Structure 1
Amino acid sequence: MNIIVLFGPPGSGKGTQAKILSEKFHLEHISTGDLFRYNIKNNTKLGQEAQSYINKGNLVPDELTTEMLIDELRRNSSQKGFILDGYPRTKSQAETLDKLLNTIFRTQVDVTLALYVKDEILVKRILKRSEASERLDDADESIIRNRINEYYEKTAVVSNYYKQQHKLVELDGEGNIEEITAALSKEIEKFI
């Protein structure tokens, strides 16, 4: 089973690329946002637990997020592999993911593909995305900039974690969709 982590700030294109690459390489695309929505909508035990934190205005703990991910991996363990989009978001999640992948599936993260994009381009992309979506947080530039800053402060440390393991590949995320797909595909082909 192959595990590919797609990494980057909001607006870097990781969601778009994850969808394209999952189809191209026959890998299951797992988005943590989708996992939360699925578990909450279907009123699963994990969803109820997550909703209790959300209702109080708290972040869902790393352990619960990881448990949802592992549950999804178990449901689809016959798959060729997975592209993780939006996970791990913290060093703690990355460490827990490594332990659980090794213990439960006897596998590990193959590579983390990190898309880098200048902040101004990220803001423009997200504002443009807001025209096609109903996400209010995509239409407010101050919220967008705050999300980007949160990424740098809290999530970017995950790249160092994978860099120390020689599992980080940094890629320019500023080209057009096809160019970025080609660059990502070249890296994924080394592991599949």
Structure 2
Amino acid sequence: MVRRDGQIFYSLMFENKTQIPLDGFMIQLNKNTFGLAAGGPLQVPQVQPGTSERTLLPMVLFQNIAPGPPNSVLQVAVKNNQQPVWYFNDKISLLVLFTEEGRMERTAFLETWKSLPDSNEVSKDIPSIVINDIDATIERLSSSNMFFIAKRKNGNQDVLYLSAKIPRGIPFLIELTTVVGVPGLKCNSNYNE
């Protein structure tokens, strides 16, 4: 999944390793946490043997929501006129859901964080990530619609506070804790259902 100009697309590449041309491609997505569904038919030209074709399929949200606890699995079925249905699982990146309107004012961020129940907080340690430059990290996160709120020092650790929103205006409040140049990142996030 990719996000471009506020729209979510499913970026797909079809590679033909058979001896015959393939055409008539269709796609179906199973129910999923965010109700992601195709925003139209799959547009793939005929794929000749030994070649490949890329396409961007526009996606819509909240069309086919799966019940149960949230997860990032996307079950996909693709077929064409010459072959049986191909089934595979993909992952939904939360980053593509972050909208361009995710910036919060500092006071609103603090009030929202304090008002959310502890049960809405998720914590994850990511031991392999190394942050070497805080400002470059903030800029990179901003390009993914994660907006800088504040920074503080806690001993030798840098703590960053960021905001993001997914569609329907659901805010994500994010706290990242790291030691510059040392492997390891702790991420606490709070969300308002």
Compare relative contact order (CA 8 Å, sep 6+) and give the higher one, 1 or 2: 1
TM-score scaled to structure 2, two decimals? 0.24
Bigger radius of gyration among the two: 2
Higher strand share: 2
Would you tell me which structure has more helix in proportion to its own residues? Answer: 1
TM-score, normalised to structure 1, is 0.24
